[in-house]
Amino acid sequence: MSAAVAVCAAPASARDLQLGEILCVGGADSARAALELEPQELDCSAVRFAKRDRFVRTHADIAEGFYPTEELLYWQTDPSHFETMLVRFVYEDGTEKLFDVDPQMAARNWFVQTRFSVPVPKLSARLVGVDMVVERARTAQTFQEARLVGRQEAREEHYSKSLLYSLLCGLLLVPIIFGVLSYHWLRFRFIIWHVVMTAGALMFVVSNSGLLFRLLPDAPLGLRFQLNTISLAIATASAVLFVKELIEEGKVPRWLVRTTIGLALFMLVMKTVTVIDLESLRMISQSAFLFSMLPLSLALLALITTALLNNSRVAMYLLFAFSGMILGGIIRLLMGLGLYDPAFHIDNFLYLAMAILVLGTSAAVGDRFVVLRVERDRARVSAIKLGRLAMTDPLTGLGNRRAFESIERVERGQALLVADIDHFKAINDSKGHAVGDAVLRHMASVMRDSFETVSGATIYRLGGEEFAVLFACDDETAMCHAAERLRKAVDRDMPGDSIGLPHATVSVGGAMGRGRDLKQVFSEADQALYAAKQAGRNRSAVSGEDGPDVLANVAKA
């Protein structure tokens, strides 16, 4: 007891006394035996909270001057999870007040930061000691978080922090809604993991802050305890997969990614052990779970840092986003192992770290959206260019046969002309293929000029010396005029040696579309072309209305 008496010798704050610092601890096989332990039988050493007995007893001496006459107090602690609990208040005149606390009482009387409250009876005698007996405590926090605090101060803290945590929950909801809506349009896997990660963080805040009992007043205390760590495990594992999917390909070695994922799986296994709740592992399974997060946090930090060193755009955002959570996880682990006791409340730090995590990862997602959109736009432009190349004749720049055959039907109010350069083989044989190619290019230029003012005109080179024109046309007369105009333009604009090319003429065949299949219309136009050639070349012919076998309007300039 000497250690506890020494700590309490100095006057404590009248507003908030942290009992965890002055507790002495003992263990027993029953609640009665634990309560009957003499103060000198209790352990006041630094390792006193490592007790694994089924029933654990704590005792704290209250210094004189802490409990003013007018002050009304709450005794509070973080219940985590337990089977039964007894709280005893001892007064200077020997009076004892004993409270039997069941898990649901702890759930109903919750305060922020997962505490619950027991009102300290107000007697004329001074409060000199507080005892607690807990059956099957799951974590040492049940003892370490005990405190005496003024009721008014506790209520004010409860109101202000509940409001703060509610605002944080609202902040976490925004990226979840945005992610769900975004995934409807952008099917990227990192969006899914960002939503799951943020949902896990939201669940952690709701359970760890105690807001769960506001939403579900009858929720079992054990449910909050399990949700607290399950949500943390979900958020952490999803964060690993989110980072993996978000970081650009090739920025991180595969072995480092696999190692990080393996550590995440190990962490989930450790969490499964805490859910099973084996008696032999009751007090160490939670610490083992927290310990499993340390190498995972370091691996995640290494993964992000490696990506940053390899010039990853999003790694800068991720390093900012995860720095608080990684640091908070390390601090929480050290606290669980009894190696570090920070001056600030770790839960408040974790909530701040989660806000930074959401803001940072949302910025990373936004930046990735911009990059992916630019890449997608470039890919779309490239695809369009490649598509155009695939549909374009490289020699003349006109549509090629593939583009022509992609037309399913020739609509009413459209006509098709097929033109063939007369005696083109002779030009190739006598002048060479280079001159032949020049004739084809000039032919394409003449055809463009001829149909420049014609509505909806599209010109194709079908192969060799054969061309086709699809254009708007009301009737056969207009089609005949268009065919003759093209024939005359070629005859006039390819006059031979004046432009360094041999004189060339064309024969033209045409057919009206009438909403028919392209193959049928092309067959009629091709038959008309054949008739023009048979009539002596440098002529035009069109298919008549009575069918493809009836040809009319064979003409020569």
**Last residue within a domain, chosen from 382, 415, 448:** 382
Which pLDDT belongs to residue 55? 92
Residues 238 and 284 reside in one and the same domain: yes
Answer yes or no: are the C-beta atoms of 59 and 41 closer than 8 Å.
no
Residues 131 and 205 reside in one and the same domain: no
Q: Mean per-residue pLDDT for 83-104?
A: 91
Indicate if the pLDDT at residue 335 is higher than 60. Answer: yes
User: Quick check: is 387 in a domain?
Assistant: no
User: Quick check: is 359 in a domain?
Assistant: yes
Q: What is the CATH number of the domain that holds 54?
A: 2.60.120
The CA distance from 318 to 364, in Å, is 7
Q: Domain residues for 192?
A: 186-382
46-55 pLDDT per residue, tens: 888 877 888 9
Residues 449 and 337 reside in one and the same domain: no
Through-space distance between the first and last CA atoms of the chain, rounded to whole angstroms = 125
Indicate if the pLDDT at residue 543 is higher than 90. Answer: no
Would you state the structure tokens that stand for residue 195, as one six-digit string?
């939503």
Q: Give the residue with greater pLDDT, 166 vs 337.
A: 166
Residues 474 and 426 reside in one and the same domain: yes
Residues 444 and 370 reside in one and the same domain: no
Residues 425 and 503 reside in one and the same domain: yes
For strands 540-543 and 506-512, give the pairing: parallel
Contacts (Cβ under 8 Å, ≥6 apart) of 472: 413, 414, 415, 454, 455, 456, 457
13-59 pLDDT per residue, tens: 445 788 888 899 998 999 899 988 988 889 888 888 877 888 999 99
User: Quick check: is 180 in a domain?
Assistant: no
Of residues 49, 205, 227, the one with CA closest to residue 137: 49
Number of domains in the chain: 3
Which pLDDT belongs to residue 553? 45
Residues 205 and 306 reside in one and the same domain: yes
Q: Give the residue with greater pLDDT, 536 vs 1.
A: 536
Q: Which residues pair with 399 in a beta bridge?
A: 392, 460
Give CA angle at 466 (463, 472), nearest 5°: 110
User: Quick check: is 143 in a domain?
Assistant: yes
Active site annotation includes 465: yes
User: Quick check: is 245 in a domain?
Assistant: yes
454-473 pLDDT per residue, tens: 888 999 999 889 999 999 99
Q: Which range is least confidently modeled, 143-157, 240-254, 380-394, 483-497?
A: 380-394
**Last residue within a domain, chosen from 153, 176, 201:** 153
* 280 secondary structure, DSSP code: G
272-294 pLDDT per residue, tens: 888 887 777 776 777 788 788 88
User: Quick check: is 177 in a domain?
Assistant: no
User: Quick check: is 475 in a domain?
Assistant: yes
Catalytic one among 145, 465, 476, 484? 465
Residues 326 and 446 reside in one and the same domain: no
The CA distance from 424 to 466, in Å, is 10
Residues 372 and 446 reside in one and the same domain: no
What is the H or E stretch that residue 117 is in? strand 115-119
**Last residue within a domain, chosen from 321, 347, 382:** 382
Residues 426 and 322 reside in one and the same domain: no
Q: What is the CATH number of the domain that holds 479?
A: 3.30.70.270
95-149 pLDDT per residue, tens: 999 999 888 888 888 887 667 889 999 888 888 999 999 998 888 888 888 889 8
CA 508: distance to chain centroid?
A: 60
User: Quick check: is 11 in a domain?
Assistant: yes
Residues 214 and 135 reside in one and the same domain: no
| Sign of the dihedral defined by the CA atoms of residues 375, 381, 384, 389, in that order | negative
Residues 492 and 550 reside in one and the same domain: yes
Indicate if the pLDDT at residue 548 is higher than 60. Answer: no
Mean of pLDDT over the chain: 83
